[in-house]
Chains A and B, each alone.
Chain A
Amino acid sequence: MSDVTETLPVEQTGVTDDRRTVLATALFGGLMLVAAVLVVVDAVRLPETSGIVGPAAVPLPVGVLLGAVGAALLVRARTQLRDARPGSRRPAHGALRVCGMVAALVAFALLLPVLGYVVSSAALFAVTAILLGAPRAPQAIAYGWALAALVFLVFDRLIGLTLPTGPWGF
């Protein structure tokens, strides 16, 4: 990974994307098409106003452009898919780890008001560090606890940003 940048300034163009990038581009293009439909439908249902330019004046062209660029990305991804080279090898279960991370963040969002800032953040730190390959779990938990406590002290007590507290007051 270290020497990839060597050729970049001279010939940034003409490099074929790997298969993974092409598929992600296609997926993103698809998402843009969905967003385009949502934006246009939402803009059309906006009521007429007395003003010369109503609230739908900008969303409509934005929706159309979303659709156009999304479609262009899809078409280009389709033509690129044929001569896309396979991507570099990645560690196993990457997608699983991302799902775990998303689950941890959702749990953090739901549990923050219940368990308070310090416990939730310490747990979030530990889970993230372990998912990212921290060698020793107890150490990650200790660091997380220390950082969360420090943040709570500085931002809640010192600066006065009110952070949620659990039943134990922090």
Chain B
Amino acid sequence: MDQFGLLLDGFASALTPGHLLWALVGVTIGTAVGVLPGIGPALTVALLLPITFRLDPASALILFAGIYYGGMYGGSTTSILLNTPGESASMISALEGNKMARAGRAAAALATAAIGSFVAGTIGTVALTFVAPVLSDFATSFGPPEYVALMALAFVTVSALLGPSLLKGAASLLVGITIGLVGIDSQTGQPRLVFGIDSLLDGIDVVIVVVALFALSEAFGHLLTGTGHSTVQPLRERAILSRKDFRRSWPSWLRGTALGFPIGSLPAGGAEVPTFLSYSVEKKLSKQPEEFGKGAIEGVAGPEAANNAAAAGVLVPLLTIGLPTSATAAVILTAFQSYGLQPGPQLFSESGPLVWTLIASLYVGNVMLLVLNLPLVRMWAKLLTIPSYGIYAGVLVFATLGAYAAGGTTVDLLILCALGVLGLLMREAGIPVAPAIVGLILGPLAEQQLRRALTLSEGDPSILLSGPITVVLWSVVVLALLTPAAGAWFRNRRRADAPSPVR
């Protein structure tokens, strides 16, 4: 087992005081932003991108990984106590968890979510340790055509999975790709979509787009809808699991993990599908199905585990192929790029120690998060009592700081504002913003690979379908495009045939 030695070296590096400190800072910030409604890990990592230019790559990536994992833990606290899920993947925990909290079982819900997250996160990280190098070896044989097909697959599935409909997801993705086109074309030096504005020549910084679409649109949205009054469920006891709750929880944790990691590590990704699947599986297998909808602990344990296992899974395509399948993964990819590192098969061979330090820090971070979240959960719950006008005003202060640090000019702040209004329109139209982030970051990479492939074949597009891997991938793309359409068509037929509409 070659990986063991490498992983041990990674641990040796991750357990140095400096790296431990960055991991602790990361998981603490991550939990905090996960708890606070309206701020997610993607936004936080983006805001910290310009600041970490002063850090060495290992410290920065450990920090970001901590924020990424921490956000998952913190999100469940909010959805259980407040019933406003910060991200769509924790919607299910809000469903059962908040019911449990209302019935006075907040402590049990929080405990099963935290321990389930730990179990799933750890198993997911173990799986990552063993799957990633194998996949990375396999991916060394990939040429530009394979990458084009993989990215096309990611584009289609991200559009379909991260939003209410394929059409709206595709709209968001295209917005991101278009923003990614702005600036000087790296291969020919031609300015594209610049319209004579000098500060657009370098393109629009990822930080500005993420901040505008996530933070500003959220603040603008609350100006329209009002911040509302949400009730925080009180947390009276310490978050521990009774023997009975533990017996009911652990099979759900394992089932959630088994669903979450494989689905998360597909180049389609997303944590939504496995959490929804896990919920319905738990509901089917439960001995007390009548409890579902009224606060069944399995309905928190399974989806939370699935959510965290998927988060570990998403790192597999990110590290081995350089394919981000969630907004946070896309921003972390940018962090790699800013250090001149390109995630992909070469990453393991060229920057092995860095990758293994990062993976080891994920184990460490998970342990830290369990400690941070079980005994200290009441402290995090206190964050929920900050009035939302304070949260959003603070978010805007950090958002403008991040945008200014990324660009440093007034024009950057004006672009930020314009994109924020665009983000508000997307919110109002029910168009998800996450595909736009993936499109923005993956778009230029896809273009590069496409042009490389076509240059290899001297312009013959049939190179894109050469080899068995590309054929399989493109078939999946076509299937993924047709399935929702066919589903909608069948639903419409059924509705048309039915004498009276169900709804």
A residues at B contact (CB < 8 Å): 1-2, 5-6, 8-9, 12-15, 17, 20-21, 24-25, 27-29, 31-32, 35, 38-39, 42-43, 46-47, 49, 51-55, 57-59, 62, 65-66, 69-70, 72-73, 76, 90-91, 94-95, 97-98, 101-102, 105-106, 108-110, 112-113, 121, 124-126, 128-129, 131-134, 140, 143-144, 147-148, 151, 155, 159-161, 163
Whether B458 sits at the interface, judged by CB under 8 Å, is yes
Main secondary structure of the interface of A (DSSP, over half): helix
**Inter-chain contact A35/B390, CB cutoff 8 Å:** no
Chain B positions within 8 Å of A55 at CB level:
185, 187-188, 190, 192
Residue in B85, B181, B420 whose CB lies within 8 Å of A59: B181
Q: Are B223 and A131 in contact (CB under 8 A)?
A: yes
Given A6-B293, A52-B454, A108-B413, also A94-B171 (CB < 8 A): no
CB-based contact A24/B178 at 8 Å: no
Nearest residue, chain A, Cβ from B431: A28
Q: How far is the CB of A56 from chain B (nearest CB, A)?
A: 8
Q: Are B223 and A132 in contact (CB under 8 A)?
A: yes
Q: In the complex, A166 Cα to B344 Cα: how many Å?
A: 45
Q: Which residues on B are within 8 Å of A, measured CB to CB? A: 50-51, 54, 83, 85, 91-92, 94-95, 164, 167-168, 170-171, 174-175, 177-178, 181, 185, 187-188, 190, 192-193, 195, 216, 219-220, 222-228, 230, 276, 279-280, 293, 387-390, 392-394, 396-398, 400-401, 404-405, 410, 413-414, 416-417, 420-422, 424-426, 428-431, 447, 450-451, 454-455, 458-459, 488, 491, 495, 502-503
B54 touching A160, Cβ below 8 Å: yes
A5–B397 touching, CB < 8 Å: no
CB atoms of B400 and A108 under 8 A apart? yes
A17 CB contacts on chain B under 8 angstroms: 430
Contact B405–A161 (Cβ < 8 Å): yes
Q: Would you mind naming 17 contact pairs between A and B with Cβ atoms under 8 Å apart?
A: A1-B228, A5-B94, A9-B280, A21-B429, A46-B192, A58-B450, A62-B178, A73-B167, A94-B226, A101-B223, A109-B414, A113-B410, A129-B393, A133-B226, A134-B387, A161-B51, A163-B404
Q: Are B171 and A27 in contact (CB under 8 A)?
A: no
Closest to B220 in A: A98
The residues of B that contact A129 with a CB separation of less than 8 Å are: 389-390, 392-393
The winner among A46, A76, A129 for most chain B CB atoms within 10 A is A129
**Residues in chain B near residue A160, CB distance under 8 A:** 54
Bound-complex Cα distance A4 to B421 (A): 26
CB distance from A70 to the nearest CB of B (A): 7
Which residues of A have CB within 8 Å of B293? 6
Residues of B within 8 A of A98 (CB): 220, 223-224, 421, 424
Task: Kindly list chain A residues whose C-beta atoms are within 8 Å of the C-beta of B193.
Answer: 38-39, 42, 59
In the complex, what residues of A have CB within 8 A of residue B220's CB?
A: 98, 101
The minimal Cβ–Cβ distance linking A159 to chain B, given in whole angstroms, is 6
In the bound complex, what is the Cα–Cα distance between A54 and B188 (angstroms)?
A: 7
| A106 & B224 in contact (Cβ 8 Å cutoff) | no
The residues of B that contact A76 with a CB separation of less than 8 Å are 167
When C-beta atoms are compared, the residue in chain A nearest to B159 turns out to be A69
Contacting residue for B431 out of A25, A113, A134, CB 8 A: A25
> Cβ of A9: which chain B residues have Cβ within 8 Å of it?
91-92, 95, 276, 279-280
Give the top 5 A-B pairs by smallest Cβ distance, nearest first: A109-B413, A132-B389, A24-B428, A24-B429, A94-B224
What chain A residues lie within 8 Å of B50 (beta carbons)? 161
A31 / chain B contacts, CB cutoff of 8 Å: 422, 425
Contact B219 A101 (CB under 8 A): yes
In the complex, A52→B228 CA distance in Å?
A: 57
Inter-subunit contact A25/B389 (CB<8 Å): no
Chain A contacts for B225, CB-based, 8 A: 90-91, 94
Q: Determine whether the beta carbon of A52 is less than 8 Å from that of B393.
A: no
Which single member of A49, A95, A102, A125 contacts B224 (CB below 8 Å)?
A: A95
From residue B162, how far is it (CB to closest CB) to chain A in Å?
13
Residue of A nearest to B95 (CB): A5
Contact residue among B178, B222, B397, B414 (Cβ-Cβ distance under 8 Å from A132): B222
* Chain B positions within 8 Å of A32 at CB level: 171, 174-175
Assess whether B417 is in contact with A134, with CB atoms less than 8 Å apart.
no
Cα–Cα, bound, A18→B495 (Å) = 20
Q: How far is the CB of A58 from chain B (nearest CB, A)?
A: 5
Instruction: Let me know if B392 and A21 touch, CB within 8 A.
Output: no
Shortest CB distance B182–A (Å)? 10
CA gap between A150 and B225 in the complex, in Å? 30
Other than the given A12-B164, A73-B167, A132-B393, 13 more pairs (CB < 8 A) read: A5-B83, A9-B95, A21-B429, A25-B429, A28-B426, A35-B175, A73-B168, A91-B225, A105-B400, A105-B416, A108-B400, A108-B413, A132-B222
